[in-house]
Amino acid sequence: MHRRAFALPALLVVAALVLGACGAGSAPPITDPKEIITKSVEAIQKAKTVHLEVTVEGTLTADLIGSGQTSEMSLAGTSLTADLDLANNNAHISAAVPAFLGLTADIIVIGADTYTKISLAGDKYEKSTTTPGDPTDPATAIKEVADFLDKPEVAPIKKDDASCGSRSCYQVVISLSADDLKTLLPDQDVGDATVVATILVKKDTLNPASATVTITGTTVGDITVTVVMSDWNKSLTITAPPADQVG
């Protein structure tokens, strides 16, 4: 009996030592919002696969038919899903815009070949082939992101950590006023549009978990785009559609 009574505290001490050793080897938390974003971009550059779920809500204000007059279109139900095989330059993308004549699209990319099926154009895929361009140098991409974050108009802010599923995520917010956008996009007519982007990055892997972008203004409407990223580096096979489904 005495041995059993003594064994429990001893096991608790051992467990505490093991957990302490595991914690001692973990990376220290990142406090600089610019570093969080750049390290997340580095993680993307190294990734092999990812699944995306995109939803769009709100109202778009634009000249939808080229008449010179703006009109409003509800974006409710607009969505996109994508499986990206980043290592092999393959992708399968499906999109829907219910408010625009029930538009749907299915796109399959296999290397240089792209198969596109759009509901308004028929029920078969159209194949096109392009000459692959030079791949983007990861170092160049990371530098471009770092340079963008260094612009005084951008000024990312680290908020309190947020829950993303069963994990904890860094939370970074970028708010751009209309004046900020005019400086960043001098060749674009942004009107009075403002943008707020909230980015969640997993603390353990530094893979991005989600990004929510809200665009508001009398010239663009009121639009919220949410991108959820998951299944990083999981096994993924993307194949071309059967020959009888290609026009």
Q: Which residues of 73-99 are buried (b: 16+ CB within 10 A; e: fewer)?
A: bebeebbbebbbbbeeebbbbebbbee
Task: For strands 208-217 and 194-202, give the pairing.
Answer: antiparallel
The average pLDDT across 146-154 equals 95
Q: Which domains does the chain have, with CATH numbers?
A: 27-128+138-233 (2.50.20.20)
Length, in residues, of the chain: 247
Residue with tokens 């290592």: 87
Extract the tokens encoding 22: 């595991």
Q: Which helix (H) or strand (E) is 176 found in, with range?
A: strand 167-176
Residues 205/217, Cβ–Cβ less than 8 Å: no
CA 187 to each of CA 27, 190, 197, 214, 218: distance values in angstroms, whole numbers, following the listed order: 42, 9, 22, 21, 19
Is residue 123 scored above 70 in pLDDT?
yes
Instruction: Report DSSP state, residue 121.
Output: G
Query: pTM of the prediction?
Result: 0.83
- pLDDT, tens digit, for every residue of 3-20? 444 444 444 444 433 333
Lowest mean pLDDT among 25-29, 84-88, 148-152, 214-218: 25-29
